[in-house]
Amino acid sequence: MARRRQLIQATVILLATWFLVNSSALAVPAPTSAPAPSPPPPATGTLCIPHERDALLAFKAGLTDPGNYLSSWRGEDDCCQWTGIECSNRTGHVIKLQIKSNSATDDQTISGPLGGNISSSLLNLRHMKHLDLSWNNFGGKPIPEFIGGLKSLTHLLLSNSHFGGRIPPHLGNLSNLISLDLSTQWESCYSPDLAWVSNLRNLGYLAMNDVDLSAAIDWAHAVNMLRSLTTLELETCGLQNIMPPPLHPNLTSLRALYLGYNSFNSSFGAKYLLWDLPSVQTFSMPSCGIRGPIPAAAGNLTSVQSLFLQVNNFSGVVPSTFKKLKQLQVLYLLNNFISGNLEDLLNILPANELQALYLDNNNLTGSIPAQIDQFSSLSKLQLSNNKISGEIPVGIRELKKLTELWLDSNNLNGTLTQDHFTNLTSLQVLWLSGNSIKMLVNNTWNTPFQLISAGFRSCILGPQFPAWIMQATLNTLDISNTSIHDSIPFQFWITMYTVQVLDLSENKIVGRLPTYFLFGDMQGVILDISSNQLVGPIPTLPPNLAYLDLSGNNLSGVLPSDIGAPALAILMLFNNSFSGTIPCSLFELQQLKFLDLSDNQLNGTLPNCPGAPRTSNLTMLNLNTNNLSGEFPSFLQRCKELNFLDLAYNNFSGSIPTWISSKLPDLAFLRLRSNMFSGGIPEDLTRMKGLQYLDIASNNISGKIPISLGNLIAMAHTPDEQGALYKIVTFGLMSLYRWTNAYDDSLSVVTKGQQLEYTTGIAYMVNIDLSCNSLTGQIPEEIGTLAALKSLNLSWNHFSGIIPQTIGELQAVESFDLSHNELSGEIPTGLADLTSLAHLNLSYNNLTGAIPSGNQLRALGDQASIYIGNPGLCGPPVSRNCSGTKVTPRSPEDQHEGMSDALSLYLGITAGFVAGLWIVFCGFLFKRKWRIRCFLLSDRMYDWVYVQVKLSWASLTRKNQ
- Give me the domain span that covers residue 868: 643-897
Kindly report the three-state secondary structure assignment for every residue of 346-358. HHCCCCCCCCEEE
Which CA distances in Å does 643 have to 609, 613, 889? 21, 18, 46
**Among candidate residues 408, 406, 535, 391, the one with its CA nearest the CA of residue 480:** 408
- Mean pLDDT estimate for the chain: 85
For 225, left (φ over 0), alpha (ψ -120 to 50), or beta? alpha
- Those residues whose C-beta lies under 8 Å from the C-beta of residue 618, and which sit 6 or more positions away, are 587, 592, 593, 595, 639, 641, 642
Residue 935 lies in a domain: no
Using the Cα atoms of residue 915, residue 919, residue 920 and residue 924 in order, give the sign of their dihedral: positive
Overall average pLDDT of the 572-595 stretch: 93
Residue 845 lies in a domain: yes
Residue 451 lies in a domain: yes
**Among candidate residues 135, 137, 129, 125, the one with its CA nearest the CA of residue 79:** 125
Tell how far CA 481 is from the center of its chain. 24
Contact 847, 823 (CB under 8 A): yes
Alpha helices in 1-149 (DSSP H): 2-26, 50-61
Q: Which amino acid is at 385?
A: N
pLDDT band at 585 (very low <50, low <70, confident <90, very high): confident
Per-residue model confidence as pLDDT tens digits over 260-317:
999 887 655 576 677 889 999 999 999 998 989 999 999 999 999 999 999 999 999 9
Residue 418 lies in a domain: yes
Tell how far CA 882 is from the center of its chain. 57
Contact 125, 96 (CB under 8 A): no
Q: Which amino acid is at 299?
A: G
pLDDT band at 432 (very low <50, low <70, confident <90, very high): very high
Residues 857 and 708 in one domain: yes
Overall average pLDDT of the 752-781 stretch: 78
The continuous run of DSSP H or E covering 454 comes out as: strand 453-455
Q: How many distinct structural domains can be found in the chain?
A: 2
pLDDT band at 718 (very low <50, low <70, confident <90, very high): confident
Q: Does residue 817 sit in helix, strand or coil? A: strand
For position 853, what pLDDT does the model report? 87
Residues 506 and 652 in one domain: no
Which of 489, 510, 531 is the endpoint of a domain? 510
Residue 371 lies in a domain: yes
List the end-to-end C-alpha distance of the chain, in Å, as a whole number: 159
Check residues 762 and 787 and name the one with the higher pLDDT: 787
DSSP 282-348: EEE--SS--EEEPPGGGGG-TT-SEEE--SSEEEEPPPGGGGG-TT--EEE--SSEE-SBHHHHHHT
Which of 478, 510, 542 is the endpoint of a domain? 510
The continuous run of DSSP H or E covering 98 comes out as: strand 94-98
For position 956, what pLDDT does the model report? 59
Cβ density class 260-281: b for 16+ within 10 Å, e for less: bbbebebebbbbbbbbbbeebb
Judged against a pLDDT cut of 50, whether residue 803 lies above it is answered with: yes
Residue 668 lies in a domain: yes
Q: Does residue 569 sit in helix, strand or coil? A: coil
Tell how far CA 923 is from the center of its chain. 71
Phi, psi values for residue 863, rounded to 5°:
-55, -45
- Those residues whose C-beta lies under 8 Å from the C-beta of residue 705, and which sit 6 or more positions away, are 681, 770, 775, 777, 779, 780, 783
Per-residue model confidence as pLDDT tens digits over 237-273:
999 876 666 656 789 999 999 999 998 876 555 766 7
Q: What share of the chain is helix, strand, coil (3-state, %, to 5)?
A: 25, 20, 55
As a whole-number percent, the residues of the chain with pLDDT over 90 amount to 68
Contact 638, 612 (CB under 8 A): yes
Write the CATH number for 369.
3.80.10.10
Residue 460 lies in a domain: yes
Which CA distances in Å does 200 have to 19, 54, 229, 411, 518? 56, 30, 10, 54, 61
CA atoms within 13 A on the CB side of 914: 6
For position 2, what pLDDT does the model report? 42
pLDDT band at 719 (very low <50, low <70, confident <90, very high): confident
Q: What is the DSSP letter of 862?
A: S
Contact 386, 410 (CB under 8 A): yes
For position 777, what pLDDT does the model report? 96
Which of 510, 545, 564 is the endpoint of a domain? 510
Phi, psi values for residue 478, rounded to 5°:
-125, 105
Overall average pLDDT of the 613-626 stretch: 88
For position 350, what pLDDT does the model report? 97
Overall average pLDDT of the 494-523 stretch: 91
pLDDT band at 762 (very low <50, low <70, confident <90, very high): low
Helix axis angle, 892-926 to 928-960, nearest 10°: 100
Residue 247 lies in a domain: no
Which CA distances in Å does 373 have to 348, 377, 400, 423, 746? 15, 10, 9, 12, 46
Contact 365, 387 (CB under 8 A): yes
Which CA distances in Å does 943 have to 936, 954, 955? 11, 17, 19
Overall average pLDDT of the 147-151 stretch: 97
Phi, psi values for residue 806, rounded to 5°:
-70, -10
Q: In what order do the strands lie in the sheet with 291-293?
A: 291-293, 313-316, 337-338
Per-residue model confidence as pLDDT tens digits over 12-45:
333 333 333 333 333 333 333 333 333 344 444 4
Asked if residue 892 has a cis previous peptide bond (ω within 30° of 0), the answer is: no
Beta bridge partners of 341: 365
Beta bridge partners of 96: 86, 130
- Provide the total of helices (H) and of strands (E) in the chain, helices listed first: 12, 55
Measured CA to CA, the distance from residue 250 to residue 242 in angstroms comes to 16
For position 9, what pLDDT does the model report? 41
- Those residues whose C-beta lies under 8 Å from the C-beta of residue 21, and which sit 6 or more positions away, are none
Judged against a pLDDT cut of 60, whether residue 579 lies above it is answered with: yes
- Classify residue 1 as exposed, middle or buried by CB count within 10 Å of its CB (0-12, 13-18, 19+): exposed
Measured CA to CA, the distance from residue 710 to residue 781 in angstroms comes to 9
Contact 269, 244 (CB under 8 A): no
Measured CA to CA, the distance from residue 371 to residue 362 in angstroms comes to 21
The continuous run of DSSP H or E covering 847 comes out as: strand 846-850
Measured CA to CA, the distance from residue 932 to residue 280 in angstroms comes to 100
Contact 395, 371 (CB under 8 A): yes
Per-residue model confidence as pLDDT tens digits over 508-521:
999 999 988 788 88
Q: Dmax of the chain from CA atoms?
A: 183
Contact 647, 623 (CB under 8 A): yes
- Those residues whose C-beta lies under 8 Å from the C-beta of residue 721, and which sit 6 or more positions away, are 727, 730
- Classify residue 115 as exposed, middle or buried by CB count within 10 Å of its CB (0-12, 13-18, 19+): middle
Contact 298, 321 (CB under 8 A): yes
Judged against a pLDDT cut of 90, whether residue 950 lies above it is answered with: no
Max mean pLDDT among 243-252, 414-423, 742-751, 919-928 falls in 414-423
